[in-house]
Structure 1
Amino acid sequence: MPRLADHDQRRAQITGAARRVIARDGLAAATFQSVAAEAGISVRLVQYYFGTKRKFLLATHQAVVADAGTRFTRRLGTLGADPAPRDVIRAILTELLPADAARRQDAIVLNAFHAAVLTASDVGAEDTLGAPQFLIKTIAEQLRRVRTGATASARRAADLDAELIVASAAGLSQTLLVDIGAEDRADNLLDRLLDRMVEA
């Protein structure tokens, strides 16, 4: 009896190959041919699962974001039943940093997508903004837990501060990609950021 294909596993194989190609050679290098070669499968199979380059690029972006979400969930699970807002925010930001090979690859891939949005490409801003917006919303909710007052002004301040925190973490992530020495300062930089943005 022939073995049935595991379609989720095959898609993960293809998006995993695309991640490696993008991290190594850039987004423009991720073609049907290069991804198929990286995955060790036929071009026809990549086309069968994704149809267009845009579809496999977006699936690759979504795979990176999903893996980050899994890491966030795992890290938050170590904080106990009712973690302090600062601890939640710090855990999320820590998982954004390229502190190991897998997270470094993912950071390079996300940066490649960000750069592609700035030029004519198969990827637009609307395709990549969901994850940062989710992070901003999540961090804003944590900021509101430690700030008194439910005025519209206080809520707006939490939203703006959350956006600044995410932007700062993204900048630190980019710095760590090119300045290995910055790894030694990363924890201190996160703590200084949170000292200024999160009331204890």
Structure 2
Amino acid sequence: MPRLVDHEQRRREITTAARKVIAAGGLDAATFQAVAAEAGISVRLIQYYFGTKRELMLATHRAVVQDWGVMFATALGALGPDATPREVIRAVSLGLLPLDEQRHQDNLVFAGFHAANLTGNTVTSEEMMGAPRYLITSFTDQLRRERPAESDPRATELDAEMVVLTVTSLTQTILAGGVTRERAVELLDHLLDRVLLR
């Protein structure tokens, strides 16, 4: 009897291999040959599941975003239903920062996609901006919960966007070795203190 193949699991194995290749050498390094070698499978199998490099890259990007979604859900579940807006924003922001080896690798993958976006290669801005927009909306909702009497709703949106962009900047600075993980957490807490004092 032939062995049944879990196609979703196989796709996952391939995108996991692609993440490792991208983290080590960027999107240009993620050829079908390199990903196949990392996954221990044939190039033909990758072509069967993804067809083109672009499709493989987009699936890899989605895999990172989905993993982060699971991580956020777990962190927020641990906080419980009575979590304050600051606790929610902090938990999600810390989850984005490369504070351990897995998140470091995932952020290197995102950096590869960011570089490709800047050069117009493989991915577009529209394909890259879904997650940041979602975060800005989520943080805006949390800040409104904290500041229901805010007279300027636009100020709340700007504060939420500032937090997301600061986390992005801290991430890039950690990856480049310009700030320690501990210092990044300190800077994040300082920003949240100032934003939530309004």
Aligned partner letter, 1:38: E
Q: How far apart in 2 are the matches of 1:192 and 1:43?
A: 48
Structure 1 residue 176, shift from structure 2 partner? 1.1
The answer on whether the counterparts of 1:147 and 1:199 sit within 8 Å (CA) in structure 2 is no
CA distances 1:155-177 after superposition (whole Å, capped 9, x unpaired): 22211111110000011111111
TM-score (norm: length of structure 2):
0.96
Residue equivalent to 1:169: 167
Q: What SS is found at the alignment partner of 2:187?
A: helix
Aligned partner letter, 2:48: Y
Q: What SS is found at the alignment partner of 2:180?
A: helix
Aligned partner letter, 2:167: A
- Segment drifting more, 26-35 vs 85-94: 26-35
Structure 1 residue 178, shift from structure 2 partner? 2.2
Residue equivalent to 2:71: 71
Aligned partner letter, 1:165: V
Residue equivalent to 1:22: 22
Q: Does residue 88 of the first structure (1) align with residue 88 of the second (2)?
A: yes
Residue equivalent to 1:156: 154
Return 5+ residue gaps in structure 2 as ranges.
none
Identical pairs, percent: 56
Q: How far apart in 1 are the matches of 2:148 and 2:17?
A: 48
Q: How far apart in 1 are the matches of 2:79 and 2:120?
A: 43
Q: What SS is found at the alignment partner of 1:78?
A: helix
Q: How far apart in 2 are the matches of 1:186 and 1:150?
A: 28
Q: How far apart in 2 are the matches of 1:58 and 1:198?
A: 36
Q: CA-atom RMSD, angstroms?
A: 1.4
Structure 1 runs (4+) deviating above 4 angstroms are none
Residue equivalent to 2:2: 2
Residue equivalent to 2:112: 112
Aligned partner letter, 2:56: F
Structure 1 residue 181, shift from structure 2 partner? 5.3
Residue equivalent to 1:43: 43
Structure 1 residue 148, shift from structure 2 partner? 2.6
Aligned partner letter, 1:21: V
TM-score (norm: length of structure 1):
0.95
Q: How far apart in 1 are the matches of 2:153 and 2:56?
A: 38
Return 5+ residue gaps in structure 1 as ranges.
none
The answer on whether the counterparts of 1:146 and 1:199 sit within 8 Å (CA) in structure 2 is no
CA distances 1:110-138 after superposition (whole Å, capped 9, x unpaired): 01101110103111111111001111110
Residue equivalent to 1:53: 53
